[in-house]
Structures are given as C-alpha cells and as structure tokens.
A and B are shown apart, each in its own frame.
Chain A
Amino acid sequence: MTAPLLKVEDLTISLASDGGSLPLVKSLSFEIAAGETLCLVGESGCGKSLTALAIIGLLNRRIMRASGGGIFFEGRDLLSADAEAMRRLRGDRLAMVFQEPMTSLNPVQQVGRQISEVIVEHRGTSEREAEREAVRLLDLVRIPDAARRARDFPHQLSGGMRQRVMIAMALALRPALLIADEPTTALDVTIQAQVLALMDELRREFGTALLLITHDLGVVAEMADRVLVLYAGRAVEEAPVEQLFDQPTHPYTRGLLDAIRQLLKPDIERLAEIPGTVPVPAKLDRGCSFAERCGLAMPICGEKRPVLGPRGSRHSAACWLGHLPVEQPA
C-alpha cells in the first residue's frame, strides 16, 4: 500500500490561556490519499478551520498550540517543520482557499500580479513569463477577458470572480493538496454551483487532493469521496460519502442529514430538531460531548467517552450505540 498524501495523527489544538490550555481539537486522526476529496463537516466551533490552519502552518502561534502524533505530508512532519520550510511548501505543494476572498487578496495590487508573484517566488521564472501564466490561469478558471481582468484590482471583481482568482492562485503551482475552507459559503447559489463544478473539474485534471471544509451537507453530497464529521473538536463519524448518506450511524450525523432532507420533502409539517446547542469548550470533558443533545443517550454516554469504532468497511463512528437499526429515508 502506498503511503497517504496527508496523514494527521492524534492532533490536538489548544488555546493557550492564563489558566493553562483549553483543547479545541482533540486527538484527531485522518488521512487523505493523492487525488482524493475529503470533506470535513461540522458546525461553528467544531474545530474544522483550526485543523486546516494547523495543516498549512497558519495557526496563530502566540495563542494556539498544535501537538500530538504529527501531520505527515508527503512523508515529512509539518508539526515540527520550521517557518521557512512551511513558507516554501505553502503555495507550492500545499495551497489554501478561504471563505472570503476579499480579505485574502491584496486590495492594492492587480490580481494578475498577485498570481504571477507566487510563480516568480517559487519557480524563479521571469516576470513576463509568470504574467503570461497568470493570464492563462485566469482563463482556465473562466474569467472572461482574462488578459484585461488580470489588470483589475480585487474590488473591481464580483465575489464569484474573486473566488476564481483565489482558485487560480492556489492552483498556479499544481499543489498536491488544496485546502478549501467554506469556499462557496459567501457566494450566491448559481455562482456556488459554478465554482464547485470548476473546483471539481480542475481537481480531476491536475490530480490534486482536496480537503474541503464545509458546514453544508449539500456541498458534501456534490463533492466528497470520503467524509469526516466533527462535533465539539472530535471526530464522531468517518465514511465514504455514499455510505455516510445511506447509513449514517452517529445520531449527530443522522440529525444533520435529516435537517437537509426534510427541507426538500414537500408538505412536511414539522422539522426534526437537534435540541440544545453545541457545548462550550471545557478543560475536561467527561463522556460523549453529544450526549446532552442526543435522543438516544444512555447512562454510559454521560460517563465514558466513546472512541471511534468500525461500522463497516472504511466506516467508523464514535458512539456507544454500536449497531443502531438504520431508518432508511422513504
């Protein structure tokens, strides 16, 4: 078996505070194979963005600490890599697209220059050559009239076009792994559909692996090969995408899936709710973090934390209810 492209092992990310440290991502492990799309799904505060920032080395080191077994990318441990090594990897083998392109682009530099800069910096090509490549990339992400648009500043572009520029920049050096954190959340639905289709097409063409972070299970259904569901900083379920949608086993995953499926059913009278809210991060957590919102909780759930256990081929869940009968959607 070949080694995975990315292997995250027992990753813990803590917020350093006066009274010690507060863990926000807890003992997270997952892998991504070359060319694969893994979706990290969860709601606000579940730790999905922190995980992405830890991988790409952009955690605010003054307040955040990443520790644990390691983040192995193409065989090297990013957790112990120094700042210069990370700087050389970023934009080259590893790239990231953020939710709000306006805050990730330099507002006072033409977008074409922002792309060519990456190429010059990492590849040492001539400015002219890099600029031609930037126009070619803008054309590739279907920005109309790319040569002219390359001279635009970010504020002259629409939100959808700005996100295309970010994608062009991220893919400029054909990275092995693209991390996209809610890349279409700020976009209108018709533009979201365009950008998702574009990302999927480019990913296939370049063989790029994609770590896609989203709260939207619709986006997951469209894009994922495999899915990792996070709740309150921990992995609660992991499965190939069809398996997850067909046979979700964790009550939280099932609640999330119900929330989107019911909306699309005509004439539904009342939506099933997940009661309560996500717990506030605590120094010590006893038992299952989802127990207080779970309709199926048992006494053990409040006392002992369930670990990820197998639920089928490449499918695992962290729940004391080992083999729940699964209700199939009608």
Chain B
Amino acid sequence: MTPALEVAHLSKTFAARRGPFGLLGRRVVRAVEDVSFTVEASRTLALVGESGCGKTTIGRMVVRLAIPNAGSITVEGEDFTRLSGEALRRKRQRVQMVFQDPFACLNARMTAEAIVAEPLVNFGLGDAATRRRRVRQLFDQVGLPQTFLDRLPHHMSGGQRQRLGIARALAAKPAVIVADEAVAALDVSIRSQILNLLKDLQRETGVAYLFISHDLSVVRYLADEIAVMYLGRIVEKGPVRSVFDTPAHPYTQALIGAIPASHPRERRRRALLDGEVPSAAALPIGCPFRTRCPLATDICSREPPPLVTVRHGHAAACHHIHANEMTTGGTTT
C-alpha cells in the first residue's frame, strides 16, 4: 500500500543575520538535517523534542508553509516538492493542519460555519447545498452543537475552538493531518476530550496524523510510532511501546526520565540532564547531543552517529547504543 506520507532526506536551512543589523553577514542555521519517516493511512507518527529541535519546521514543510532545501515529501505516492500550479493546489487538499492556538488561527470575524466551509469553497468542493450539509455533518463529527454554526470564535471556549479547528482540517477529507501541539494549550479535562476525538476521527476516516508534541505522555497514548528529534535530526525512532519501554538513545532516556511523577511516592531523585540545547547556528561537530551526553567519548566529537537499527523497526543514532543498552536496557519502565 502507498503510505499516506513519506518524507525522505528532508533538510532545511535558514540564513540568520549576524551582528547588529546583519553587519557581520549571515550564518547558516541547519534547522532540519536529513530527516526521513513514513506514515501509513490510519496511523499516527509523533515527532517529539524540545524547542528548536526542528519539529515544527518539518510540519510546516509537510503542509508547504515552508519549502525544503533538499529531500522529498511524498503524499499518497506523489512528490509534493515537485508539484506547482494547479497540481500543487489539488494536492494541498490532501494535507491539512491543526494548530496549537485555535484562537490565533481562526478568523475572528468569520462565523463557525464559514470557517469550516472555507476549505470546501477554496478547493471548489460541492455546491452551496452540499457544503451546508457537509459542515453540519462535520459539526456532529467533532461534537459541536448545531447551535454553534453562527457563533464567532471568541464566543467559544478553548476546547470548542480546537474542535472547530479540527472540523476545518477534516472538511476537505485529507489523507494527512499535521497537528502541531494541538492539545498543548488545553486544560487537562479538555485535553482528554480532544485526544479521544482525534482517535475516533482517525478510526472513522482513516486519516494519518503527523502529531508534533513536546509532551511525551500524550504521545504515548495517541501515537503508533515516535520519532525523537534533537537539533534538527532524528536521534531515535520506532514503535511507541518499544521506544518508551527500551529507549536506546541517552537523550530519549533523559526525556522519558523528565516526565513528572504520576504519584508522590514515585518522586525520583533522578539523574537530570545538564545544560541546555546548543544553538542550531553553532552545532557541535560530531554528535549534536554530545555536549549534554553522559556517555560522550572521543568518537562522539569526531563523527556524527548514523541511525542504526536496535531491534525490529526501532533505530537510534548513538555511538554507544550497545554499551548503553547493557547498563540501562530492561530497567526502564
């Protein structure tokens, strides 16, 4: 079967000005470096990592809000990066996005109905009567009452606005939805509602999710596979269970260790990761994680580690995987 989304060797660089008013020229920021992954229909891949790891840039490239410098983005078998004009416009319909802040991405002067109908109008889908029916059906699907059809976004709560954002993303029946921190701004009680909704909608429509998140606990519930990013690179990827139960990369181990306890008796005096993420404009030579890594040795400052398979479908980029697995493998839960 053709995957819904296939990203291969994707790279993105930005030119950053140096010095006051850019007087010191420019330097290159490597935001995304050689990233590859595949998402099948009805599946969810989570991209996780901390601020500045490149996860949002990847999401933006997939919906073509940013243009990659290299690599391909294949949607249902067709390379998105090679399309232009009408063919690109048609393909865009297949990839939609849900944003973190549903208020910032909804036109404050449009009614809820007009917001959800907009993609249908833009892609010329159906006549006015069909669109009216489709919008009402979408409201039911995302759990918004029909009485909300003529509401303005500021008369809705955060959870209701996120439902509206999801309805809009679903309107044109996409193959892929990119959800960038889609539940990060929601209260806990609302977050569960939206996560359940996303799962239900996937079951009903077969849509694939590229779910971008910094929150590992949410990812564990929603995702089938997970790709952990650090400074623009994927450092570990695999089935969600395998990565959580037996993380191979020291960064993944630290991320999982940093999830707050779910009971006061589990308070851990755990080993914390020292320091902070270096600037993407001054990447360490060799392994990007070596400046914070407890296992770093000489080789880490010479050669960037390749992504190698640790077990079925699970790969990590670390020179010390095997030594690391012997000391920590099987002890993490």
Find out whether the CB atom of B260 lies under 8 angstroms from the CB atom of A221: yes
Find out whether the CB atom of B263 lies under 8 angstroms from the CB atom of A245: yes
In the bound complex, what is the Cα–Cα distance between A252 and B277 (angstroms)? 38
Find out whether the CB atom of A189 lies under 8 angstroms from the CB atom of B221: no
Interface segment among B36-44, B192-200, B280-288: the answer is B192-200
Residues of chain A with a CB closer than 8 A to B160's CB: 277
User: What distance in Å separates the Cβ of B159 from its nearest Cβ neighbour in chain A?
Assistant: 6
Q: Given A43-B190, A277-B190, list of 9 further CB < 8 A pairs?
A: A161-B276, A222-B264, A241-B264, A242-B264, A259-B189, A261-B262, A262-B221, A263-B217, A274-B189
A218 within 8 A of B: yes
In the bound complex, what is the Cα–Cα distance between A320 and B104 (angstroms)? 40
Find out whether the CB atom of A266 lies under 8 angstroms from the CB atom of B220: yes
B241 within 8 A of A: yes
In-complex Cβ contact of A277 among B51, B157, B255, B259 (8 A): B157
In the bound complex, what is the Cα–Cα distance between A194 and B264 (angstroms)? 18
Pairs of residues from A and B, 3 with the lowest C-beta to C-beta distance, nearest first: A218-B260, A43-B187, A188-B50
User: What distance in Å separates the Cβ of A204 from its nearest Cβ neighbour in chain B?
Assistant: 12
5 example contacts (A-B, Cβ-Cβ < 8 A) are as follows: A188-B214, A193-B273, A242-B265, A259-B192, A293-B189
On whether A216 and B50 interact (CB within 8 A), knowing A271-B196, A277-B157, the answer reads: no
In the bound complex, what is the Cα–Cα distance between A132 and B255 (angstroms)? 36
Find out whether the CB atom of A190 lies under 8 angstroms from the CB atom of B261: no
Find out whether the CB atom of B254 lies under 8 angstroms from the CB atom of A256: no
Mask: chain B, 221-263; 1 = CB below 8 Å from A; 0 = not: 1000000000000000000010010000000001101111111
Find out whether the CB atom of A266 lies under 8 angstroms from the CB atom of B259: no
A296 within 8 A of B: no
Find out whether the CB atom of A189 lies under 8 angstroms from the CB atom of B255: yes
Q: Which of A25-68 contact B (CB under 8 A)?
A: 43-44
B326 within 8 A of A: no
B1 within 8 A of A: no
Find out whether the CB atom of B189 lies under 8 angstroms from the CB atom of A190: no
Find out whether the CB atom of A197 lies under 8 angstroms from the CB atom of B272: yes
For chain A, give the interface size range.
35 or more
In-complex Cβ contact of A217 among B188, B191, B199, B215 (8 A): B188
In-complex Cβ contact of A259 among B188, B214, B216, B261 (8 A): B188
Mask: chain A, 150-171; 1 = CB below 8 Å from B; 0 = not: 0000000011110000000000
A224 within 8 A of B: yes
Residues of chain B with a CB closer than 8 A to A197's CB: 272
Q: Which of A257-280 contact B (CB under 8 A)?
A: 259-264, 266, 268, 270-275, 277-278
Chain B: how many interface residues by the 8 Å CB criterion? 44
Q: Which of A162-187 contact B (CB under 8 A)?
A: none
Residues of chain A with a CB closer than 8 A to B192's CB: 259, 262, 271-274
B312 within 8 A of A: no
In the bound complex, what is the Cα–Cα distance between A264 and B160 (angstroms)? 25
B266 within 8 A of A: yes
B158 within 8 A of A: yes
In-complex Cβ contact of B50 among A189, A219, A260, A261 (8 A): A189
In the bound complex, what is the Cα–Cα distance between A260 and B264 (angstroms)? 13
A192 within 8 A of B: yes
In the bound complex, what is the Cα–Cα distance between A221 and B51 (angstroms)? 25
User: What distance in Å separates the Cβ of A97 from its nearest Cβ neighbour in chain B?
Assistant: 18
Among B157, B216, B262, chain A packs the most CB atoms within 10 A around the CB of B262
In-complex Cβ contact of B266 among A221, A259, A277 (8 A): A221
Find out whether the CB atom of B276 lies under 8 angstroms from the CB atom of A158: yes
In the bound complex, what is the Cα–Cα distance between A224 and B260 (angstroms)? 12
Find out whether the CB atom of A263 lies under 8 angstroms from the CB atom of B220: yes
User: What distance in Å separates the Cβ of A265 from its nearest Cβ neighbour in chain B?
Assistant: 8
Find out whether the CB atom of A218 lies under 8 angstroms from the CB atom of B272: no
On whether A222 and B267 interact (CB within 8 A), knowing A256-B189, A264-B262, the answer reads: yes
Find out whether the CB atom of B157 lies under 8 angstroms from the CB atom of A271: no
